[in-house]
Structure 1
Amino acid sequence: MRSSHSRNSISILVLAVSIGMMLASHVSAQRPNFLVIIADDLGYSDVGCYGSEIATPNLDGLAAGGLKFTQFYNTARCWPTRSALLTGYYPQQIRRDGMPGAPSGFGGSGKRPAWAQTIADYLRPAGYRSYHSGKWHVDGKPTDNGFDLSDEATRSHGFFDSIKREDRDPDFYRTTATADHAIECLQQHAAEFADQPFFQYVAFHAPHFPLHALPEDIERYRDRYVDGWDALREERHKRQQALGITSAELSKLEEDVGPPYAFPDQIALLGPGEINRPLPWGKLTQQQQRFQATKMAIHAAMIDRMDQEIGRIVEQLRSMSAFEDTLILFLSDNGASAEMMVRGEGHDPSAAPGSAATYLCLGPGFSSAANTPFRRHKTWVHEGGISTPLIAHWPKRISARNELRWTIGHVIDIAPTILDFAGVEPASSSVPAMIGKSLAPVLLKGDVALNDEIWFYHEGNRALRQGDWKIVHGNVARDFPWGRSKAAANETDQAEWSLYDLSTDRAEQNDVASDHPEIVAAMQSRWLELRDQFLRDSASALLPSTD
Structure 2
Amino acid sequence: MAPWGYAGNPESIPSPTTPAAERPNIVLVLADDLGFTDLGSYGSEINTPTLDALAQEGVRFTNYHTAANCAPARAMLLTGVDAHIAGVPNIPEMLAPEQKRHSHYQGVLGNNVVTVATLLEGAGYHTYMAGKWHLGAGPGQLPSERGFKRTVALADSGADNWEQRPYIPLYEKASWYADGKEYQLPDDFYSSRFLVDKTIEFIDSNIDDGTPFFAYLPFQAVHIPVQAPQEFIDRYMGVYDGGWDELREQRRQKAVELGIIPADSGIGRMSTTDDWNALDADQRRYQAKRMAVYGAMVEAMDYHLGRLVDYLKEREQYHNTIIIFTSDNGAEASGPADPGSFIARRGPTALGYHTDYERLGLKGSYNSISPSFASAAASPLAFYKFYAGEGGMRVPLIVAGAELADKGGLNHAFSFVTDITPTILSFAGVEPPERRYRGRPVEPIIGRDLGPLLRQEVDRVYGPEDAVGYELAGHAALFQGDYKLVLNRGPLGDGQWRLYDIVRDPGETSDLASQQPARLQRMLSAYERYARDNKVLAVPPGYDHLKQLVINTLYQRLRTPILVALLTALVLLPFLMTWRNTRKDA
Deviation at 1:501, TM superposition (A): 1.7
SS, match of residue 282 in structure 1: helix
Instruction: Give the distance between the partners of 1:118 and 1:163, measured in 2 at CA.
Output: 29
Instruction: Give the distance between the partners of 1:174 and 1:362, measured in 2 at CA.
Output: 19
Deviation at 1:110, TM superposition (A): 3.4
Which shows bigger deviation, 469-478 or 138-147? Answer: 469-478
Deviation at 1:154, TM superposition (A): 8.9
Q: Aligned residue for 2:541?
A: none
Which shows bigger deviation, 84-93 or 111-120? Answer: 111-120
CA contact (8 A) 1:34 1:199 kept: yes
Letter in 1 for 2:67: T
Residue-by-residue CA offset, 1:250-276 (whole Å, 9 max, x unaligned): 422122x3xxxxxxxxxxxxxxxxxxx
Q: Aligned residue for 2:434?
A: 428
Instruction: Give the distance between the partners of 2:221 and 2:253, measured in 1 at CA.
Output: 26
2:159 pairs with one of 157, 160, 167: 157
Q: Aligned residue for 2:450?
A: 439
SS, match of residue 329 in structure 1: strand
CA contact (8 A) 2:355 2:367 kept: no
Residue-by-residue CA offset, 1:193-215 (whole Å, 9 max, x unaligned): x2211100000000111111111
Instruction: Give the distance between the partners of 1:163 and 1:189, measured in 2 at CA.
Output: 32
CA contact (8 A) 2:88 2:108 kept: yes
> Which structure 2 residues correspond to residues 93-112 of structure 1 after superposition, within 5 A?
93-98=85-90, 104-105=101-102, 109-112=106-109
CA contact (8 A) 1:44 1:50 kept: yes
Instruction: Give the distance between the partners of 1:404 and 1:447, measured in 2 at CA.
Output: 14
CA contact (8 A) 2:488 2:496 kept: no
Residue-by-residue CA offset, 1:489-511 (whole Å, 9 max, x unaligned): xx9xxx63111122322211111
**Residues 161 and 111 (structure 1), Cα distance of their counterparts in 2 relative to 1, 3 Å cut:** closer
Q: Does 1:308 align with 2:308?
A: no
Letter in 2 for 1:86: L
CA contact (8 A) 2:268 2:380 kept: no
CA contact (8 A) 1:368 1:375 kept: yes
Residue-by-residue CA offset, 1:200-251 (whole Å, 9 max, x unaligned): 0000000111111111110110111000111111111111111111015242
Instruction: Give the distance between the partners of 1:229 and 1:536, measured in 2 at CA.
Output: 36
Q: Does 1:462 align with 2:462?
A: no
Gaps of 5+ in 2: 1-15, 167-172, 174-183, 337-346, 437-441, 538-586
Deviation at 1:143, TM superposition (A): 0.7
Instruction: Give the distance between the partners of 1:325 and 1:531, measured in 2 at CA.
Output: 41
CA contact (8 A) 2:226 2:367 kept: yes
**Residues 26 and 333 (structure 1), Cα distance of their counterparts in 2 relative to 1, 3 Å cut:** closer
Deviation at 1:171, TM superposition (A): 3.1
Instruction: Give the distance between the partners of 2:399 and 2:185, measured in 1 at CA.
Output: 38
Q: Aligned residue for 2:542?
A: none
Which shows bigger deviation, 426-435 or 47-56? Answer: 426-435
Letter in 2 for 1:420: S
- Percent of pairs identical after alignment? 34
Q: Aligned residue for 1:269?
A: none
Q: Aligned residue for 1:280?
A: 275
> Which structure 2 residues correspond to residues 196-345 of structure 1 after superposition, within 5 A?
196-247=211-262, 249-255=265-271, 257=272, 278-340=273-335, 342=347, 345=351
**Residues 129 and 171 (structure 1), Cα distance of their counterparts in 2 relative to 1, 3 Å cut:** same
Letter in 2 for 1:435: I
CA contact (8 A) 2:143 2:153 kept: no
CA contact (8 A) 1:453 1:466 kept: yes
> Which structure 2 residues correspond to residues 49-198 of structure 1 after superposition, within 5 A?
49-98=41-90, 104-105=101-102, 109-139=106-136, 140-152=141-153, 157-162=159-164, 171-191=188-208, 194-198=209-213
CA contact (8 A) 2:99 2:105 kept: no
Instruction: Give the distance between the partners of 1:335 and 1:111, measured in 2 at CA.
Output: 21
Deviation at 1:111, TM superposition (A): 3.9
Gaps of 5+ in 1: 1-23, 258-277, 479-487, 538-547
Instruction: Give the distance between the partners of 2:155 and 2:471, measured in 1 at CA.
Output: 30
> Which structure 2 residues correspond to residues 378-527 of structure 1 after superposition, within 5 A?
378-395=385-402, 397-429=403-435, 431-445=442-456, 447-451=458-462, 452-477=466-491, 496-527=496-527
CA contact (8 A) 1:153 1:174 kept: no
Letter in 1 for 2:246: A
Deviation at 1:340, TM superposition (A): 2.7
Aligned length: 475
**CA RMSD, Structure 1 to Structure 2 (Å):** 2.7
SS, match of residue 233 in structure 1: helix
Q: Aligned residue for 2:569?
A: none
**Residues 423 and 102 (structure 1), Cα distance of their counterparts in 2 relative to 1, 3 Å cut:** farther
Letter in 2 for 1:413: D
**Residues 144 and 474 (structure 1), Cα distance of their counterparts in 2 relative to 1, 3 Å cut:** same
Deviation at 1:454, TM superposition (A): 2.2
Instruction: Give the distance between the partners of 1:457 and 1:440, measured in 2 at CA.
Output: 27
**Residues 398 and 26 (structure 1), Cα distance of their counterparts in 2 relative to 1, 3 Å cut:** closer
Higher Cα radius of gyration? 1
Letter in 1 for 2:129: H
**Residues 26 and 412 (structure 1), Cα distance of their counterparts in 2 relative to 1, 3 Å cut:** closer
The two structures have a TM-score, normalised by structure 1, of 0.82
**Residues 210 and 520 (structure 1), Cα distance of their counterparts in 2 relative to 1, 3 Å cut:** same
Deviation at 1:421, TM superposition (A): 2.1
Instruction: Give the distance between the partners of 2:480 and 2:230, measured in 1 at CA.
Output: 46
Deviation at 1:453, TM superposition (A): 2.5
**Residues 106 and 216 (structure 1), Cα distance of their counterparts in 2 relative to 1, 3 Å cut:** farther
Deviation at 1:152, TM superposition (A): 2.5
CA contact (8 A) 1:97 1:106 kept: no
CA contact (8 A) 1:152 1:178 kept: no
Deviation at 1:168, TM superposition (A): 9.4
Letter in 1 for 2:366: Y
Residue-by-residue CA offset, 1:352-393 (whole Å, 9 max, x unaligned): 111222212111111011101100100111100000111111
Deviation at 1:170, TM superposition (A): 5.8
Q: Aligned residue for 1:19?
A: none
Instruction: Give the distance between the partners of 1:107 and 1:360, measured in 2 at CA.
Output: 34
The two structures have a TM-score, normalised by structure 2, of 0.76
